[in-house]
């Protein structure tokens, strides 16, 4: 990653939003991503450069791929300079958004289900602190490369309410459930402990200077007190200390004070709390922490049935927003005037808690996306991935490239091995996503759209070499680049075979034999050496077809007359490999067995519990993958085709859409509902992952923002 790029996101609001402007330029051109356009003539630079005005907003190269939220965001925190945010989703996934201008993808933070968190920039990186689900705290360093390292922890033996990283990122205030406040360094070492009789803080609010803060102490019901405090540097050599500052100020709001209904000004001189509804407005209580005067009441034009959210934009201006999509208001606390502003999106998911305001930037949840609103310049954007549910995956014959396709957008080609970091984008038809993708060679790939449109691409320059089509209802795709054939299974059981070359398509040859399962054969079988494909119909009749036979346009009578019946007692195969071996599962008493039948020589292996829903032999026939369904979980196991011994297994979560081998047997790729992964076929170890495709900054979030699956991303496992 370029350090310059990364620093850009950290130098503060102004630079951040200059970059944001660039991002929005990119965003404004994103429509072009769905319009055929010329690709770059410099393949090594890809099409994702930040300044080419054509690529996605995620212009910064990826040293560590971002990971989408796979569930709706339900908690948000923002740094005091408004440059970065943290988010938690409903299944506990946690992300750091290193830039709020769309220039950086969100990074996973390795903590599940934090109760509270905070973030502050530190140099070129960040300090992130979380209260974990057990009540302990962890402090992480996120460096300029996006690498995350745990620096220290506070044991959950004494649980915390919260931990608040102070601006500067060097220290944090840890508020324990015994109501002590401890100042800790980045390694969680205690620097000072503050305890006071009859002082029961349950949450803190920080000022922007890292020295002033307030503690909220609970009284009866919704009553609480606001106590100003200071981090005092002790020149006497005893280190920093915490001190009370002034008298506590009472508040008696009509509902429980939360992070979004009770807020502190950046200079820590004003505290505002949502007080109570009056007629069709809300009263805010503005407590002057510098002067012991009665709280000032300010009204805001928010309907009484909606509890507003607050956030200081500056020391005298407050953003008051709601969770139901009506207007936000910028409230001048000096004269009480209300000024309309754009609103955070309607949020029925979190009821408005998932928002935060820092340095005039509002960050709020919108499904699995983040809404970012610059209150000062009145701009806003939605950050997120267009999708994370990968529909199809292909690996190039030499294993140098992987292509991802998804339902609603373009195809991405990313480098493997020596090409790691290179990325190309291929447009799909506007409004029609891609269902299948395969490489013909290192330069060409074939895509099939959701509507059945088939394109042969020269993917480096985006050229469409040829087009074909098929009616929809596609069930599966089999591709054999070494033979230049492609077999498309359809749900109505009339498969289509195409010949494919770098020049284009020939065919289709329609095989209307009512087969519910079929496959390609690279080298025929012993009994059918000329066969290029096989089919299996519902009467358990197995048919083989040669390419010349299909080119000769056989009559339906001839087709239905041919074939070999699978004898009673034999189990129909789930797959047949290039050597003609049959793969399947059968019951032996109460035990499920995998079997491989090589011309009558049958080998079996007891399968683990659950169902085996599919088998995918490798192109060479030396190995195969079995797909296991156990309860809600899907996993793959790779086996040697001769011994049936298991090589490895890999859990893919709940649903996977496609499972393919690379033509050279080196890789296995999985396209799944929570992302995609390329595995080393020998070890099963991931070599490349992508759990979020097409990270963008948009003026309006797409419907996919709410495509949460409530399943942990494959990239979090």
Residue ranges in 106-165 that form contacts with other proteins under rule CB under 8 A: 110, 112-115, 132-136, 138, 150, 153, 155-159, 161-162
Q: How far apart are CA 548 and CA 256, in angstroms?
A: 78
Contact positions with other proteins (CB under 8 A) in 294-333: 305-307, 309, 322-324
Out of 332, 646, 665, 682, the only residue in the binding site for other proteins (CB under 8 A) is 646
Q: Which stretch binds other proteins (CB under 8 A): 83-91, 231-239, 328-336, 478-486?
A: 83-91
Q: Which stretch binds other proteins (CB under 8 A): 176-184, 540-548, 562-570, 663-671?
A: 176-184
Q: Which of 619, 688, 176 is nearest to 401 (CA)?
A: 688
Q: How far apart are CA 126 and CA 90, in angstroms?
A: 24
Q: How far apart are CA 25 and CA 29, in angstroms?
A: 6
Please report, to the nearest 10 degrees, the dihedral formed by the alpha carbons of residues 461, 466, 472, 478 taken in order: -80
Output the six-digit token pair for 394: 């292909």
Cβ partners under 8 Å of residue 23, min gap 6: 57, 59, 101, 102, 103, 381, 697
Q: How far apart are CA 183 and CA 342, in angstroms?
A: 38
Burial letters 42-65, b for 16+ CB under 10 A, else e:
eeeebbbbbeeebbbbbbbebeeb
Q: How far apart are CA 409 and CA 232, in angstroms?
A: 54
Cβ partners under 8 Å of residue 450, min gap 6: 407, 432, 433, 434, 435, 472
Smallest distance, other proteins to C-beta of residue 581, A: 22
Site string for other proteins, 11-30 (x = CB under 8 A): --------------------
Q: Rank residues 74 and 144 by Cβ distance to other proteins and give the closer one.
A: 74
Site string for other proteins, 673-692 (x = CB under 8 A): -----------x--------
Q: Rank residues 135 and 554 by Cβ distance to other proteins and give the closer one.
A: 135
Q: How far apart are CA 47 and CA 592, in angstroms?
A: 49
Burial category of 243 from C-beta neighbours within 10 Å (exposed 0-12, middle 13-18, buried 19 and up): exposed
Smallest distance, other proteins to C-beta of residue 681, A: 12
Out of 43, 469, 546, 610, the only residue in the binding site for other proteins (CB under 8 A) is 610
Smallest distance, other proteins to C-beta of residue 435, A: 25
Smallest distance, other proteins to C-beta of residue 256, A: 5
Q: Rank residues 290 and 606 by Cβ distance to other proteins and give the closer one.
A: 606
Q: Rank residues 25 and 153 by Cβ distance to other proteins and give the closer one.
A: 153
DSSP state of 691: B
Q: Which stretch binds other proteins (CB under 8 A): 118-126, 540-548, 604-612, 688-696?
A: 604-612
Smallest distance, other proteins to C-beta of residue 627, A: 12
Smallest distance, other proteins to C-beta of residue 281, A: 14
Q: Rank residues 90 and 408 by Cβ distance to other proteins and give the closer one.
A: 90
Q: Rank residues 180 and 314 by Cβ distance to other proteins and give the closer one.
A: 180
Q: How far apart are CA 265 and CA 263, in angstroms?
A: 7
Instruction: For residue 636, state whether it binds other proteins (rule: CB under 8 A).
Output: yes
**Tokens 């050229």 sit at which residue?**
463
Site string for other proteins, 179-218 (x = CB under 8 A): xx--------------xxxxxx-xx--------------x
Q: How far apart are CA 264 and CA 212, in angstroms?
A: 10
Q: Which stretch binds other proteins (CB under 8 A): 90-98, 389-397, 407-415, 524-532?
A: 90-98
Out of 80, 343, 408, 652, the only residue in the binding site for other proteins (CB under 8 A) is 652
Contact positions with other proteins (CB under 8 A) in 410-429: none
Smallest distance, other proteins to C-beta of residue 182, A: 13
Site string for other proteins, 564-593 (x = CB under 8 A): --------------------------xx--
Cβ partners under 8 Å of residue 677, min gap 6: 650, 652, 669, 670, 686, 688, 689, 690, 714, 715
Q: Kindly state the greatest CA–CA separation across the chain.
A: 100
Smallest distance, other proteins to C-beta of residue 35, A: 39
Instruction: For residue 473, state whether it binds other proteins (rule: CB under 8 A).
Output: no
* Distance of alpha carbon 539 from the chain centroid: 44
Instruction: For residue 281, state whether it binds other proteins (rule: CB under 8 A).
Output: no
Q: How far apart are CA 185 and CA 236, in angstroms?
A: 19
Size of the site for other proteins (CB under 8 A): 83
Out of 472, 635, 664, 709, the only residue in the binding site for other proteins (CB under 8 A) is 635
Q: Are 622 and 665 in contact (CB under 8 A)?
A: yes
Q: Rank residues 325 and 462 by Cβ distance to other proteins and give the closer one.
A: 325
Q: Are 263 and 272 in contact (CB under 8 A)?
A: yes
Dihedral of CA 167/168/169/172: which sign? negative
Smallest distance, other proteins to C-beta of residue 222, A: 8
Smallest distance, other proteins to C-beta of residue 28, A: 33
Q: Rank residues 200 and 570 by Cβ distance to other proteins and give the closer one.
A: 200
Q: State the pairing for strand pair 575-576/582-588.
A: antiparallel
Site string for other proteins, 531-570 (x = CB under 8 A): ----------------------------------------
Instruction: For residue 260, state whether it binds other proteins (rule: CB under 8 A).
Output: yes
Q: Which stretch binds other proteins (CB under 8 A): 95-103, 240-248, 547-555, 625-633?
A: 625-633
Smallest distance, other proteins to C-beta of residue 663, A: 23
Site string for other proteins, 39-78 (x = CB under 8 A): -----------------------------------xx---
Q: Which stretch binds other proteins (CB under 8 A): 7-15, 251-259, 334-342, 484-492?
A: 251-259
Report phi then psi at 27, rounded to 5: -60, -40
Q: State the pairing for strand pair 107-108/94-97.
A: antiparallel
Q: State the pairing for strand pair 160-165/171-176.
A: antiparallel
Contact positions with other proteins (CB under 8 A) in 332-371: 350-354
Q: How far apart are CA 74 and CA 366, in angstroms?
A: 9
Smallest distance, other proteins to C-beta of residue 136, A: 5
Instruction: For residue 707, state whether it binds other proteins (rule: CB under 8 A).
Output: no
Report phi then psi at 345, rounded to 5: -65, 160
């Amino acid at each position: 990653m370029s350090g310059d790029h990364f620093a850009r996101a950290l130098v503060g609001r102004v630079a951040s939003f200059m970059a944001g402007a660039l991002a929005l330029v990119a965003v404004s051109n994103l429509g072009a991503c769905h319009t055929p356009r010329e690709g770059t003539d410099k393949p090594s630079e890809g099409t994702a450069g930040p300044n080419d005005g054509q690529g996605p907003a995620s212009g910064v190269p990826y040293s560590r791929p971002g990971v989408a939220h796979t569930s709706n965001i339900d908690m948000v925190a923002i740094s005091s300079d408004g440059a970065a945010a943290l988010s938690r989703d409903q299944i506990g996934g946690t992300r750091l958004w290193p830039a709020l201008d769309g220039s950086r993808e969100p990074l996973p933070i390795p903590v599940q289900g934090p109760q509270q968190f905070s973030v502050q920039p530190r140099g070129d990186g960040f300090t992130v602190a979380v209260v974990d689900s057990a009540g302990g705290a962890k402090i992480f360093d996120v460096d300029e490369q996006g690498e995350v390292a745990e620096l220290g922890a506070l044991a959950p033996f004494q649980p915390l309410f919260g931990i608040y990283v102070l601006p500067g990122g060097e220290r944090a205030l840890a508020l324990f459930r015994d109501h002590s406040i401890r100042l800790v360094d980045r390694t969680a070492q205690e620097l000072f402990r503050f305890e006071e009789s009859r002082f029961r803080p349950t949450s803190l609010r920080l000022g922007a200077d890292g020295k002033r803060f307030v503690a909220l102490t609970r009284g009866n019901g919704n009553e609480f007190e606001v106590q100003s405090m200071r981090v005092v540097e002790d020149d006497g050599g005893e280190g920093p200390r915490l001190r009370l500052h002034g008298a506590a100020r009472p508040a008696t709001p009509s509902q429980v004070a939360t992070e979004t209904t009770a807020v502190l000004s950046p200079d820590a001189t004003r505290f505002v709390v949502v007080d109570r509804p009056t007629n069709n407005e809300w009263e805010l209580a503005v407590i002057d922490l510098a002067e012991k005067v009665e709280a000032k009441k300010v009204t805001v034009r928010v309907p009484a049935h909606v509890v507003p959210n607050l956030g200081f934009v500056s020391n005298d201006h407050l953003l008051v927003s709601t969770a139901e999509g009506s207007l936000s208001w910028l409230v001048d606390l000096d004269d009480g005037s209300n000024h309309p502003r754009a609103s955070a999106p309607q949020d029925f998911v979190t009821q408005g808690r998932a928002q935060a305001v820092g340095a005039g930037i509002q960050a709020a949840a919108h499904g699995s996306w983040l809404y970012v609103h610059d209150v000062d310049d009145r701009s806003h954007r939605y950050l997120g991935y267009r999708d994370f549910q990968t529909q199809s995956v292909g690996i190039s014959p030499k294993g140098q490239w992987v292509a991802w396709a998804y339902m609603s957008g373009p195809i991405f080609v990313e480098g493997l091995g020596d090409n790691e970091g290179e990325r190309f984008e291929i447009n799909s038809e506007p409004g029609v996503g891609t269902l299948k993708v395969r490489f013909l060679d290192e330069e060409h790939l074939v895509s099939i759209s959701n509507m059945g449109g088939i394109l042969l691409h020269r993917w480096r320059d985006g050229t469409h070499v040829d087009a074909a089509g098929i009616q929809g209802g596609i069930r599966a795709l089999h591709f054999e680049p070494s033979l230049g054939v492609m077999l498309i299974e359809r749900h109505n059981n009339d498969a289509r075979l195409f010949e494919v070359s770098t020049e284009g398509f020939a065919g289709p040859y329609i095989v209307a034999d009512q087969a519910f399962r079929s496959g390609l054969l690279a080298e025929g079988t012993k009994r059918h050496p000329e066969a290029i494909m096989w089919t299996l119909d519902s009467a358990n009749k197995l048919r083989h077809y040669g390419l010349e036979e299909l080119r000769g346009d056989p009559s339906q009578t001839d087709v239905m007359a041919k074939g070999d019946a699978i004898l009673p007692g034999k189990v129909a195969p789930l797959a047949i490999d290039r050597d003609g071996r049959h793969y399947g599962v059968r019951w032996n008493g109460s035990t499920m067995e995998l079997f491989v039948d090589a011309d009558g020589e049958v080998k079996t292996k007891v399968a683990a519990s659950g169902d085996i829903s599919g088998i995918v032999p490798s192109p060479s026939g030396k190995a195969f993958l079995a797909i296991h369904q156990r309860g809600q979980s899907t996993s793959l196991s790779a086996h040697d085709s001769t011994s049936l011994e298991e090589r490895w297994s890999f859990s893919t979560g709940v649903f996977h859409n496609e499972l393919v081998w690379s033509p050279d047997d080196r890789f296995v790729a999985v396209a799944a509902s929570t992302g995609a992964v390329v595995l080393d076929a020998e070890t099963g170890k991931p070599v490349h992952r992508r759990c979020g495709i097409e990270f963008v900054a948009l003026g309006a979030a797409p419907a996919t923002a709410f495509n949460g699956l409530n399943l942990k991303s494959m990239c979090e496992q």
